[in-house]
Structure 1
Amino acid sequence: MTISQRRPCHRRSPLCNRCFLTIIICLLIIITISVHLMNIWESTHPCITPETHRQRLAYMVKSYSEIMSELNITHWVDYGTLLGALRYENIIIWDHDADVSYDRQYAYLLHDGGPAHKIAKRRYNMYLNAAVIIYEGLQTDIFSWKKISDDKGGYKYIKGSNRDFDLIEEVFNDFNASFLEKTVSIPFADGFVRAPNPPMEFVKQRYPTSYKRVIPFKFSCFFPWNIKYWLIYNRPIHKIR
């Protein structure tokens, strides 16, 4: 008995043609579904935050700074908002919220019914308390910081909430009180806001591994049609060195 050998599959073989066609159809289906899912994600988590949205965020940040300055409360722009102020003098184009901070000893002035709360409502048409600002459906997070003594005979500021991960908090959030001995005014959205001093060194502590890189944190920014917005057209006014 002879063992029959399988004949190689040539392109002209009907079986090979059917396999190739099936693979192509499967790939097209996968691509179509992927693009559809990306469009759904883009519609709910857009890479570029609409300009009107960013204008409202900037309005909240500047209004907050004006209120806090009027009440002589130690405050500053923080996290991504500080990074945006230093790079672009505005909200970063892919940021969907804003971040500001203050010394927690003044929290009683921001509680509902307090002077900061009343000024925000009466003069700026905003809701403001010790943790958040809300304006036309958008939100700015307010972080409170407590000044305590450190183990070196000096002082540092720690975030007021959630110390479950003390080591992480200490490395990425706690900072030396010297940054706030005298805050500085920096340009922001055709106005000025307060920042820790020196601001560049402070933001390096906030983002020790990424302060030099202009890379979005949003997944949708890496869709092929969005890469151009932050990789080609996005040009910072200032570089953080």
Structure 2
Amino acid sequence: MRIGLFIPCYIDAFFPQVGVATLELLERFGHEVVYPPDQTCCGQPMANSGFNAEAADTEALFVRNFSGFDYVVAPSGSCVHHVRDKFDAIEQTEAVKEVRARTYELVELLHDVLKVDAFPWARFPHRVGLHNSCGTLRQLKHATPSELREPFFSKPMDLLSKVEGIEFVQPSRPDECCGFGGTFSVFEEVVSTKMGYDKVRDHARAGAEYIVSADSSCLMHQQGCAERIGVPMKFIHVAEILNGASA
């Protein structure tokens, strides 16, 4: 399988280890992974802020970079949601539609496409609280939203449960937004901050040593909140654990 690796701008700038872990993890399963060097932002921040038309050039560049791959994979649910469901600032040619349809978030690819059933190199002997970002939960269908009262499933938990030593703990309000919400955290700073404080305290009361997520943006927000209120929590992307990070 030939995979185009899309690393969102904030991961490239602040969490490069997540991009490296994603690359190494996909290569462990024998796939050819290509990183187009002139890739940039997918345009999500502009579109979310009401400047959808201004995202056209970044969307067009994305399509040029990632045409021709079997799959396009990113370690970010929100970016994949934008590409697949909101990528409409440019004309919807067959090439655009094909790139959008082939774009997958990492957990989706591992669970739904590759159907990985073991990570023999991975061991993580820690108590973790799983955070599903709102878009990843409700748009990409990573797990069952608790408000629907449907039979439980969780793709990231299913994958992580195959890692030796890991122990899951459950916050009292597992699907509550952490307050990041992209530009929401900028324009509604006070509300966003209070939501973040509540979220990390909920995980701390449950006994989590780490909060793990498929979205580094949410982890970034919660880490800042935890540091400001003195909650001794650590934060890690699911790709890092599945690739063999021990701490």
Q: Is the structural similarity TM-score above 0.5? A: no
Question: Which structure is higher in helix share?
Answer: 2
Tell me which structure has the larger Cα radius of gyration: 1
Q: When the two structures are superposed, what TM-score results if normalisation uses the length of structure 2?
A: 0.22
